[in-house]
Structure 1
Amino acid sequence: MSPDTLERMASSPQRADANQTVENLAPVLTPEGFGLLESLPADAATSDEAALATNLALRKAGHDAEVVTAVVHQARLRALASVKFGPFAEHMLLTRAGLEQATRVNVAALHAQRYVKAGLTRVADLGCGLGADAMAMAALELDVTAVELDETTAAAAMVNLMPWPNARLVQGDATEFDLTGFDAVWLDPARRTTTSSGTSRVFDPESFSPPLSFVERLADSGLPVGVKLGPGIPHESIPAGCEAQWVSVEGSVTEVALWFGPLARDGVKRAALVLAAGGAAELTGETHDDAADDVEVSEMRGYLYEPDGAVIRAGLVREAMSRVGGHLLDPHIAYFTSDAAEPTPFARAYKVLDVMPYNVKGLKRWVKENGIGVLDIKKRGLDVTPEELRRTLLAGAGKKAKGKATLILTRIGDSRIAVNVEPV
């Protein structure tokens, strides 16, 4: 694809949604713009203040205002993208909506490994976004064709995929792409819309682009299919006959990936993959345990455990709990308790110091009497906004209060409690 074509794609008003605004990449794709972007130091836009200073300096140096605006915007996005892409971000082109949905590089590598292990070689990446997953597949020597409807995003993906000769970009509708000759499909449906006020999530699976029903039709056709979705998708929306794997990275749940055909593992219907600095750990199950009425509950013991978000989303709390000899406090609340602090990657342990009734007036008195000036609040099963409650409780603590505390708010049956805990 020629530079002129890339520039046309990046600045074209043709969009999948006419209400979306265009992020203008055209000035960046000129020789002046791209050269200027690549010449900027690594700290040129690591903050909004730094980006503003760089913008003013480049204009003062005589560069065109439109080029400067586009280049500094890209530099700012690259700085933000380093969390997801590491050093790859230094030479990528990005859009804000694309970055918010893009797969982290370490998770994309795991996606690609599924196809390699299944012996698949030619993959169509339908709705490739900025190309993160296609990049990972190409790096593992898979033959990848990335398809993207949005012209601005497609232009960015084309640049991002240029280092790999076994990756190509097609700008077009994923639902109309001819899959003849491909032996597998990967999809990351667009789940965000962009307007002049920013980006917002789309939650209805049939409003994704392409919709979840299209994914199911592909799987029903016999093609091996993998698809990345938002982790909050209701379990009843997940098609039968697939493996669903929720993934958390450093405590944040980033996605659920659905795997069909040979990409799914035998005997695994749901999984929670926890990625942290210490490595990767996974829980798997064959059924879902949302209905926990048959679980034995217990009074509060010496330690309280907060399961990882991926474990909760996957409905694998009982599996995590059994690893530490724990018991639920309430059959419908994900916290569990145990007599000992057993190390586990699937939950965070807290030493229980005190259990109090949840009463705002009583908690304010407790905060003041203990000189607490820094308060961390977690909750599950209570209709409480931690930030607002924190302000209320600390309002009368006084400026000299230096103590720190952590409160976990939850309920046991009809009783609402506040648990003073110490992180293990």
Structure 2
Amino acid sequence: MDHAELSALLTPEGLRLVDALRISSTADAASAVSRLRREGLSPDLVSAVVGQARLRERARAKFGPFADRMLFTRAGLEQATRLAVAARHAGRFRDAGIARVADLGCGIGGDSLGFAGIGLEVLAVDADEITAALAAYNLAPFGAAARVRHGRAEETDLDGVDAVWLDPARRTSGHSETRRIAASDYTPSLEWAFDLAGRMPTGIKLGPAFDRDDLPADGEAQWISADGSTIELVLWSGALARPGVRRSALVIRGDRAAELTAADDAPDVDPRDLGAYLHEPDGAVIRARLIGDVARSLDAGMLAGGTAYMTSDTGRTSAFATTFRVREVLPLKTRDIDAALKRAGIGILEIKKRGVDIDPAQFRKKLSLSGSASATLFLTRVGDRRVAVLADRVEDGEGRPGDGAQSSSPA
């Protein structure tokens, strides 16, 4: 989006057109462009409203019905915090007694929506002028409780602010195509961010693959997953960091959440041979290095072979791992696997891999899938052997999905 498109969009006509459009496919977009151009609308206005309608359709996955009154850039939407996650962040600020928050690097305002939505005062700041303008529109329903400024985080006056939420720019600037940059090039710099966190309560949002060697010595590191995807790491300091907690894994699935906390990385458990069940730890648990705690709650050992898989002979389940019942262990050979799938009538197959250099998508093309049954195929190592493990997911009804959780509540 450029300034001409923004100016055309932020008019009564532009906003009316966006609200009226519903676009769910490329064909819908092409049809809308043709119709609006025939009506004599300017190219800038047509581009802006059709682009926004398409982004709103995609944004519903993150913002639900709120997306229908928001404005976005493509990059801003991709980088925005999901509203359910933002609400949990905001709850931590409120529970710490924080009333006034500065959201530095606010983007299109996703986290600020969470803060303002539970009654906190927000100062939202972004270095990009167009992005700040869209954030101002998205936060307008909250009036004076949510102020937006165009400016740099490092130059923001924090007098009167109780705490900071900071989302450093981890990608190149731009409103559409961007690329990841090295941690040494974040804006503001990590040195500045960590210094700020040492002076006042701060939450710093980072990518989940952030180098653990660069974590500050103090505070809490919390890895978060949502519906199976590990989405972020948050570093908490001051009153926002919980006493005695240095590592945590927050697992959100649908409208439920469970959290595992620890004073440090969990001690490992011993490896063992494959048992009746295979457990795949959630990505947030792996990143937080709390697999050992989950394994102990499942009475499981690590699958011999050096992967993150756990195995046990009990059907116990956990909110922090997905459990599979082992059907059959096969040589990692297409012929043997194909024969087993045919015998079982499996035509729907989920393929997972760890510890072997295989592309699951390419491996799938070598298989002859037919039938109505479904299963999961693990391509992995057991000790020194490369094996394929055919298994079935253990549904929630066969175990309590919150077992082992320290907390479980609506997300």
Per the TM superposition, whether the score is higher than 0.5 is yes
1:391 to 365, 372, 381: 365
How far apart are 1:211 and its partner, in Å?
2.4
Post-superposition shift, 1:277?
A: 2.8
Query: How far did 1:280 drift?
Result: 1.2
AA partner of residue 276 (structure 1):
R
Query: Residue 162 of structure 1 corresponds to which residue in structure 2?
Result: 140
Partner residue in 2 for 1:26: 7
- Structure 2 Cα separation of the partners of residues 323 and 50 of structure 1: 50
Give 1:178's aligned residue: 157
In the TM superposition, what is the alpha-carbon distance from 1:343 to its structure 2 partner? 2.9
Indicate conservation of the 8 Å contact 2:75/2:176, yes or no. Answer: no
TM-aligned CA deviation for residue 367 of structure 1: 4.3
How many residue pairs are counted as aligned between the two chains?
393
Name the SS of the counterpart of 1:85 in structure 2: helix
Using the alignment, how far apart are the partners of 1:308 and 1:266 within structure 2?
24
Alpha-carbon deviation of 1:198?
A: 2.4
Matched, 1:120 2:98: yes
SS state of the match for residue 27, structure 1?
helix
Q: 1:421 pairs with 391, 395, 401, which one?
A: 391
Matches within 5 A, 1:275-314: 275-277=252-254, 279-289=256-266, 292=268, 295-314=269-288
Cα deviation for residue 84 of structure 1 reads 0.6
Offset at 1:321? 1.4
TM-score for the superposition, normalised by structure 2: 0.90
Q: Contact (CA 8 Å) 1:381, 1:411: kept in 2 or not?
A: yes
Give the superposition deviation at 1:411: 1.2
The structure-2 alpha-carbon separation of the partners of 1:278 and 1:349, relative to structure 1 and needing over 3 Å to count, comes to farther
Q: Percent same amino acid at aligned positions?
A: 46
Aligned to 1:15: none
Is residue 2:177 matched to residue 1:198?
yes
**Equivalent residue for 2:48?**
70
1:337 to 311, 317, 329: 311
Which residue is 1:4 aligned to?
none
Say which of 296, 300, 317 aligns to 1:326: 300
Q: Which residue of 1 aligns with 2:217?
A: 240
Contact residue 24 and residue 152 of structure 1 kept, 8 A: no
Match of 1:3 in 2: none
Change (3 A) 1:413 1:213: farther
Mapped partners of 2:2, 2:373: distance in 1: 55
Identify if the C-alpha distance between structure 1 residues 194 and 223 changes in structure 2 by more than 3 Å, giving closer, same or farther. Answer: closer
Deviations, residues 104-127 of structure 1 (Å, cap 9, x unaligned): 111111111111111122211110
Counterpart of 1:16 in structure 2 is: none
Alignment of 1:110-149 (within 5 A): 110-149=88-127
Q: Residue 333 and residue 35 in structure 1: after superposition, are their counterparts in 2 closer, same or farther (change >3 A)?
A: same
Question: Letter of the aligned partner of 1:263 in structure 2?
Answer: L
- Map 1:347-362 → 2, pairs under 5 A: 347-362=321-336
Query: Which consecutive residues of structure 2, in runs of 5 or more, have no partner in the other structure?
Result: 395-411
Match of 2:25 in 1: 47
Greater CA deviation, 364-373 or 305-314? 364-373
- C-alpha change, 1:230 and 1:39, in structure 2 (3 Å) is same
Partner of 2:6, secondary structure, is coil
The answer as to whether partners of 1:97 and 1:192 remain within 8 angstroms in 2 is no
**2:285 aligned partner, one-letter code:** V
Contact 2:162–2:201 at 8 Å: present in 1 too?
A: yes
Shift of 1:129: 0.4
| Among 195, 198, 215, the residue aligned to 1:217 | 195
Q: Which moved more, 1:411-420 or 1:264-273?
A: 411-420
* Structure 1: tracts of 5 or more residues without a match: 1-9, 13-22
Normalised by the length of structure 1, the TM-score is 0.87
Once structures 1 and 2 are overlaid, which stretch shifts more, 146-155 or 189-198?
A: 189-198
Amino acid in structure 2 at the alignment position of 1:228:
K
1:37 aligns with 2:7: no
Specify the alignment match of 1:20 in structure 2. Answer: none
Q: Secondary structure at the match of 1:106?
A: helix
Q: Choose the corresponding residue for 2:226, options 230, 234, 249.
A: 249
In structure 2, distance between residues paired with 1:277 and 1:134: 22
Give the alignment partner of residue 264 of structure 1, picking from 218, 223, 241.
Answer: 241
Distance in 2, matches of 1:257 and 1:242, equals 10
**Bigger mean CA deviation after superposition, 26-35 or 296-305:** 26-35
Q: Deviations over 1:206-237 (max 9, x none)?
A: 222222222101022x2111011111112112
Letter in 2 for 1:46: S
| CA distance, structure 1, for counterparts of residue 317 and residue 373 of structure 2 | 27
Residue 102, structure 1, aligned to residue 83, structure 2: no
Shift of 1:331: 6.8
Match of 1:84 among 62, 68, 74: 62
Name the SS of the counterpart of 1:262 in structure 2. helix
Partners of 2:348 and 2:68 lie apart in 1 by: 37
Matched residue of 1:193: which SS? coil
Range with bigger deviation, 89-98 or 184-193: 184-193
1:36/1:71 contact within 8 Å kept: yes
* Equivalent residue for 2:376, pick from 383, 386, 406: 406
Q: Is the 8 A contact 1:288 1:314 kept in 2?
A: yes
| Residues in 1 aligned to 2:129 and 2:255: alpha-carbon distance in whole angstroms | 40
User: Could you tell me how far apart the structure 2 residues matched to 1:414 and 1:133 are?
Assistant: 47
Displacement after TM superposition at 1:192 (Å)? 2.5
Find the aligned partners of 1:123 and 1:410 in 2 and give their Cα distance. 46
Offset of residue 60 of structure 1 = 2.6
Secondary structure, aligned partner of 1:107: helix
Counterpart of 1:26, as a letter, is S
1:174–1:195 distance in 2 versus 1, CA, 3 Å = closer
For 1:331 and 1:178, locate their aligned partners in 2 and report how far apart those are by CA, in whole Å.
Answer: 53
Letter of the 1:415 partner, please give it.
Answer: R
Farther off after superposition, 186-195 or 85-94: 186-195
